[in-house]
């Protein structure tokens, strides 16, 4: 199942209508800027189509208590049992040796499980399962983070980072320069992190969260 650009925006419009909300009110309910879903925001200044981010979509679905499959029905996509199985590993294990290669791709061992993912993607992904409450309120115990190692990373993206010390952390990417990489903590009680590029083994973008 793969929604087109027009279907995604149609789904958001239908979702707002089904909840008795305007698009602005829907965005606000999800904690987003009220103009996030305006038609004027759907095309960039360079003329390219702008898609809602996966983080924005997840906030909308959570705020309206809507499942992915219910949204796909609104968008005009009929749900069928998902066939995409992707590798799943507990985040607590991800820092140990033997689970990833130097580029951040899974080395599939007996400890890897599998989970269904409802979308057809044009890139390879895997899932890491959160345990504990160290990343609240953004991610909670049991959330499954869908990770794409070959996805471009931009400011504001959530990323999985593995350091040469073996630590694996989930942070928000802020900035990269020749001398340092700045990462913002998801939990406001935790300190932000600044790393030298040489301290990073790999970094991969979180493109979706299944809650």
CATH for 36: 1.10.260.40
d(CA 118, CA 16): 22
Is residue 1 exposed (0-12), middle (13-18) or buried (19+ Cβ within 10 Å)? middle
What local confidence, expressed as pLDDT, does residue 67 receive? 76
135: cis peptide before it, omega within 30°?
no
Which pLDDT value is given to residue 81?
46
pLDDT tens readout for residues 14-41: 999 999 999 999 999 999 999 999 988 8
- The per-residue pLDDT for 112 is 92
Secondary structure (3-state) at 29: helix
Phi first, then psi, for residue 62 (nearest 5°) are: -65, -45
Which range marks the domain in which residue 29 is found? Answer: 5-74
Domain boundary pick from 46, 74, 102? 74
In a shared domain, residues 57 and 152: no
170: tokens are 């989930």
197 assigned to some structural domain: yes
Q: Give the model's pLDDT for residue 77.
A: 57
Alpha-carbon gap, residue 185 to 200, rounded angstroms: 16
Q: Could you give the number of structural domains in the chain?
A: 2
Predicted local distance difference test score (pLDDT) of residue 182: 97
Residues of the chain below pLDDT 50 = 1, 79-82
Q: Are residues 94 and 188 in the same domain?
A: yes
Considering the domain architecture, whether residues 42 and 64 belong to the same structural domain is answered as yes
Q: Chain centroid to CA 114: how far? A: 18
Residue 1 has a pLDDT of: 45
This prediction has a pTM of 0.62
Which residue among 53, 74, 95 closes a domain?
Answer: 74
Q: Residues 9, 11, 16, CA angle at the centre, nearest 5°?
A: 100
- Which of 49, 74, 99 terminates a domain? The answer is 74
């Amino acid at each position: 199942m793969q929604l087109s650009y027009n279907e995604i925006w149609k789904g958001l419009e239908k979702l707002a209508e089904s909840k008795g909300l305007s698009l602005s009110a829907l965005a606000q309910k999800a904690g987003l800027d009220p103009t996030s879903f305006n038609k004027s925001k759907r095309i960039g200044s360079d003329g390219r189509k702008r898609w809602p981010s996966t983080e924005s979509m997840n906030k909308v679905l959570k705020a309206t208590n809507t499942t992915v499959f219910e949204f796909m029905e609104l968008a005009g996509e009929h749900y069928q049992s998902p066939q995409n199985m992707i590798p799943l590993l507990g985040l607590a294990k991800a820092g140990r040796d033997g689970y990833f290669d130097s580029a951040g791709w899974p080395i599939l061992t007996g400890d890897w499980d599998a989970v269904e993912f409802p979308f057809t993607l044009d890139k390879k992904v895997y899932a890491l399962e959160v345990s504990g409450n160290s990343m609240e309120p953004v991610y909670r115990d049991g959330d499954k983070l869908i990770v794409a190692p070959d996805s471009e990373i931009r400011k504001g993206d959530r990323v999985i980072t593995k350091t040469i010390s073996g630590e694996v952390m989930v942070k928000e990417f802020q900035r990269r320069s020749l001398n340092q990489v700045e990462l913002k903590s998801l939990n406001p009680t935790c300190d932000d992190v600044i790393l030298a590029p040489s301290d990073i083994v790999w970094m991969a973008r979180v493109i979706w969260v299944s809650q």
